[in-house]
Amino acid sequence: MNQTDLQAKERKKKMKSTAGKIHRLFLGKLFLCFLLMDLVIGAIGFGGMAYVAEKKALGSFSVKDTSMDFMVEDHTLSVEFTRGDETAIFTPDPDVVDVVRSLGFSLLGMQAGLLMWSFLFDRFPIRRKLRPLREMAESAQYLTGLDWEQEKMRNLTYAISHIDAESGAPRLETHDSELAGIENAMNDLLDRMRESYREQTRFVSDASHELRTPIAVIKGYADMLDRWGKEDEQVLMEGIAAIRSESDRMNTLVEQLLFLARGDAGRQHLTMEEISLSDIMQEVYDESVMIDMKHTYELQKEPGNIVCIGDYAMLKQAVRIFVDNAAKYTAEGDTISLRVGINRSRLCPYVSVQDNGIGMSSEDVKHIFERFYRSDVARNSKTGGTGLGLSIAKWIIDRHRGTIEVITREEIGTRFTVFLQNAPAKEENA
């Protein structure tokens, strides 16, 4: 008998042993169940008998004042009841005793028969149900001990070691149909790693570029102040204003970078609760009217309080980003519209920000939520910005399991609409 047969025999023996343990455990539980049932039936029967006997002997039933003594004379059971000075003896009807005895023996016989049946025949169904597990174990053992051809292993090792990581699209190619699954899995992993590396490289490059500009401006004005600012007050004030402006821009950029870094690391926590979208839009509207006098703002609210589940501060920040973005690309005097309500087709709350600005091309819309992305028109304008605002807004809305709809036309304007989750309905008190 070879090693494989010995292992199969050993697994079969273990499976039988497992089936036997399960069978014995089942028999033990069945026996305990029958025993408990007998005790309960006996207690109920004894209590009922005592109640009937005492009422017949003394005319009434009393647990506290009555004592019972059992007597057996000539194979006949009698019960003597004593209550104070009153004594009575009750002898059960022999026919009733025979019926009770017959029922008891019948019940015990049925239980014994069930235990015997289970002992003799229940082990086979258990083995039948455990057979798929045995077959699974045998398959796993077979796969574990499967010997690969040396040539295939050499081809796979060679293909992995010769992947060109410096090429534009490194691929694993074995040209072996039996290794196609490993090849596809490895290539998918390489694609994801390459895309992640490309995004990280672009992120670092763009961040460096954005930081280089304000640093260069600050350095230039510092040199100018060192040369002429000591005597010329106008140069001094101009330099201070420029340095302050670029410092604020750098501070905003660093804060946005830290926000996204914390979000990517899972350390940006949100407090999810029932909040009022109507209040958020009212606050953003009031603040926009107060700080931006170059544009006209209008707010349209549906009747009632529009609520959703979310983080109040985070959602307000996202709306604020959309409003600031609209103000940057809208001519002075034009109108920016804010809306909040319930979308009838999706049956969910929404907020929207619409402008009459420069709009975007269909190609730009595909990338507006990418970090540091700004269209050529935006880069050539004097609007400033870091290209991170919409990325942050997208991150916030995604964490709220919401969706953003963008409708835009060049030279006509853009509308951002955010659809959010409903707040759970509150039960009314009856």
Which residues fall within 8 angstroms of residue 271, CB to CB, at 6 or more apart? Answer: 311, 312
Q: How confident is the model at residue 397 (pLDDT cuts 50, 70, 90)?
A: very high
Asked if residue 296 and residue 260 are part of one domain, the reply reads no
Residue 152 falls inside a structural domain: no
User: Which residue, 360, 388, 362, is CA-closest to 376?
Assistant: 360
Asked if residue 32 and residue 136 are part of one domain, the reply reads yes
Which residues fall within 8 angstroms of residue 324, CB to CB, at 6 or more apart? Answer: 389
Q: How confident is the model at residue 368 (pLDDT cuts 50, 70, 90)?
A: confident
Q: Using CB atoms within 10 A of its CB, is residue 413 exposed (0-12), middle (13-18) or buried (19+)?
A: buried
Asked if residue 280 and residue 224 are part of one domain, the reply reads no
Asked if residue 415 and residue 284 are part of one domain, the reply reads yes
Residue 129 falls inside a structural domain: yes
Domain boundary among 240, 264, 288: 264
CA distance 247 to 266: 28
Q: What is the domain count for the chain?
A: 3
Which residues fall within 8 angstroms of residue 107, CB to CB, at 6 or more apart? Answer: 38, 41
User: What CATH number did the domain enclosing 236 receive?
Assistant: 1.10.287.130
Residue 164 falls inside a structural domain: no
Residue 172 falls inside a structural domain: no
Over residues 27-78, the pLDDT tens digits come to 788 788 878 887 888 778 777 777 777 676 767 776 667 777 777 766 677 7
Highest mean pLDDT among 154-168, 179-193, 268-282: 268-282
Asked if residue 229 and residue 117 are part of one domain, the reply reads no
Residue range of the domain that includes 406:
273-419
Asked if residue 331 and residue 217 are part of one domain, the reply reads no
pLDDT of residue 380: 44
φ, ψ of residue 370 in degrees (nearest 5): -80, 145
pLDDT of residue 429: 41
String of DSSP letters for 73-113: ETTEEEEEEEETTEEEEE---HHHHHHHHHHHHHHHHHHHH
pLDDT of residue 289: 92
CA distance 300 to 341: 9
Asked if residue 281 and residue 260 are part of one domain, the reply reads no
pLDDT of residue 178: 61
pLDDT of residue 280: 94
Are the C-beta atoms of residues 303 and 343 closer than 8 Å to each other?
A: no
The mean-pLDDT minimum among 49-53, 76-80, 136-140, 377-381 falls in 377-381
Regarding predicted confidence, which is higher, 24 or 160?
A: 24
Asked if residue 408 and residue 283 are part of one domain, the reply reads yes
CA distance 295 to 317: 20
Residue 165 falls inside a structural domain: no
pLDDT of residue 428: 41
Asked if residue 414 and residue 277 are part of one domain, the reply reads yes
Asked if residue 401 and residue 310 are part of one domain, the reply reads yes
pLDDT of residue 12: 60
Residue 158 falls inside a structural domain: no
Domain boundary among 264, 293, 321: 264
Q: How confident is the model at residue 24 (pLDDT cuts 50, 70, 90)?
A: confident
Residue 209 falls inside a structural domain: yes
Asked if residue 395 and residue 307 are part of one domain, the reply reads yes
Q: How confident is the model at residue 175 (pLDDT cuts 50, 70, 90)?
A: low
pLDDT of residue 282: 94
pLDDT of residue 335 exceeding 70, the answer is yes
User: What CATH number did the domain enclosing 360 receive?
Assistant: 3.30.565.10
Report CA torsion sign: 121, 125, 126, 127: positive
pLDDT of residue 210: 63
Over residues 197-248, the pLDDT tens digits come to 666 666 666 666 566 767 777 888 788 777 776 677 787 788 788 788 778 7
Asked if residue 125 and residue 10 are part of one domain, the reply reads yes
